[in-house]
Structure 1
Amino acid sequence: MIANNLNSNEYNAYYDRYLQKIPGNLELGILLLENREEFLRLLDKMKPEDLSYSYAEGKWTIVEVIQHLIDVERIFQYRSLTLAREPGIKLPGFDHDTYVPASAAKIRTLKSLKKEFKAVRNAGIFLYQSFSKEMLESEGFISGSSTSCRALGFITAGHTKHHIEIFKEKYQI
C-alpha cells in the first residue's frame, strides 16, 4: 500500500497537509520505518536543556511536542486497530490542546522520550504489517469523517514529518 493509492474520501481533507509531506510511492511499512529514523536522528541532535524551549509565547515546548507525537501515534494506532476489527464504527475525536498540559511532559527526560517514541512507532509498524489488505482498506468514522485504516498510517508519518519541519524551522534544531 502506498499513499498515492489513497482516495480523498478515505480521510478528512484537513489531513491533506500531512499527506503532502510524505513520498507517495513508499510502502507504508518502509515509510514508517524511514520516518522513525529521521525523527530519531533529529532527537539525537537535541540536548536535555533544549526540552524546555518554546519558540514563542503560548507555543508548546520541545518536550511537549515530542510527547504530543507519542500520544498521536498511540491514538492513531488505536483507531487503526478499531477500524480493522470493527469496520463502520464511529470514533470520537480528541483535543490535543487538552492532552498536552495533562501529559506532564515537563518531567520527562530526552532519553525516555526517545525510547518511548521508538517503541510506540515499532508497535505501529508491526500493527500495520499484521493487517490484511481488507483490514487496511476498512473504514469507519472518526470525528464524523469517513476514514480508512491505511489512511491513518500514512497520516501518522505525515504528522511526524510536519513536526520535524517545525522543529527545524521554528525551533532551529
Structure 2
Amino acid sequence: MKFTDLNHSEYNPYYSNYISLVSPEIDLIDALEEGKDICLSFYRSIKEEKWTYSYDSGKWTILESLLHVIDTERIFAYRALRIARGDKTPLTGFEQDDYIKPSAANERSMESLLEEYKIVRESSILLFKSFSNEALLHIGSASDSALSARAAGFIICGHEIHHGNIIKTRYLN
C-alpha cells in the first residue's frame, strides 16, 4: 500500500505535511524499513557535542527530538493496532512537550536512544506486516479525527522525515 492510495478522509489534514514527505510510490513496509536505515545512519553521523544542542531557548535538543520521534511512533503504532483490530473507542491525543519534560533524554547516550529507536521500528514493521489489507483500511478516531491504520503508518514515516529535516536545517548548519 502506497501513500497515494490514502484517501484524505483517513486522517486529519494536519498530518498531510508529514505524509507528503514520504515518497509517493513507496510501499508502507518499504517506507518503514528504508526510514529505519536512513534514520540510524543520520543520527550516528551527528557529532556528540551537538546531541544536547538546542537552536533556541525552549526548543528541544537533538536527543529530545529523537526521543520524541520514538514516543510518537509508539503512540501511532498503538493507535494503528487498536484501529486495525476494529476498536472504535475514540483515542485521545497527547501533549508532546509533556512527554519530553520527564524523559531525561539528555541524560542518555545517542547509542541507547538509537537502540531503542531500532527496536521500536522493528516492532512497528512486524506490526504493520501482520495487518491484512482489510485491517489497514479500518478507520477509527484519534485526537477527535478520523484515522485509518494505514494512515497511522505513513504518519510515522513522514513524522520521522520531518524531524530529520528540522535537525538538518536548524541544528546542523
Normalising by structure 2, we get a TM-score of: 0.97
In the alignment, which residue of structure 2 is the partner of 1:114? 114
The one-letter code matched in structure 1 to 2:42 is L
Name which of structure 1's ranges 45-54 and 6-15 shifts more when overlaid on structure 2. Answer: 45-54
- Count of paired positions: 173
SS of corresponding position for 1:102: coil
Q: Could you list the runs of 4 or more consecutive aligned residues of structure 1 that deviate by over 3 angstroms after TM superposition?
A: none
2: CA distance, partners of 1:129 / 1:31: 12
Deviation digits for residues 37-91 of structure 1, max 9, x if unmatched?
A: 1111111112333211001111101111011011001101111101111342210
In the alignment, which residue of structure 2 is the partner of 1:130? 130
Name which of structure 1's ranges 82-91 and 5-14 shifts more when overlaid on structure 2. Answer: 82-91
1: CA distance, partners of 2:81 / 2:38: 25
SS of corresponding position for 1:86: coil
2: CA distance, partners of 1:164 / 1:143: 24
In the alignment, which residue of structure 1 is the partner of 2:13? 13
In the alignment, which residue of structure 2 is the partner of 1:95? 95
Work out the percentage of aligned pairs sharing the same amino acid.
43
2: CA distance, partners of 1:92 / 1:81: 15
In the alignment, which residue of structure 2 is the partner of 1:4? 4
Equivalent residues of 1:74, 1:120 under 8 A apart = yes
- Post-superposition shift, 1:104? 1.4
The one-letter code matched in structure 2 to 1:105 is A
In the alignment, which residue of structure 1 is the partner of 2:64? 64
2: CA distance, partners of 1:121 / 1:99: 19
In the alignment, which residue of structure 2 is the partner of 1:141? 141
The one-letter code matched in structure 2 to 1:35 is G
Unaligned runs of 5+ in 2: none
Unaligned runs of 5+ in 1: none
Equivalent residues of 1:48, 1:109 under 8 A apart = no
- Post-superposition shift, 1:8? 0.3
Equivalent residues of 1:83, 1:140 under 8 A apart = yes
The one-letter code matched in structure 1 to 2:143 is S
The one-letter code matched in structure 2 to 1:153 is G
1: CA distance, partners of 2:61 / 2:143: 27
1: CA distance, partners of 2:137 / 2:88: 12
Equivalent residues of 1:87, 1:140 under 8 A apart = yes
> C-alpha root-mean-square deviation of aligned residues, in Å?
1.0
The one-letter code matched in structure 1 to 2:71 is D
2: CA distance, partners of 1:94 / 1:6: 24
SS of corresponding position for 2:153: helix
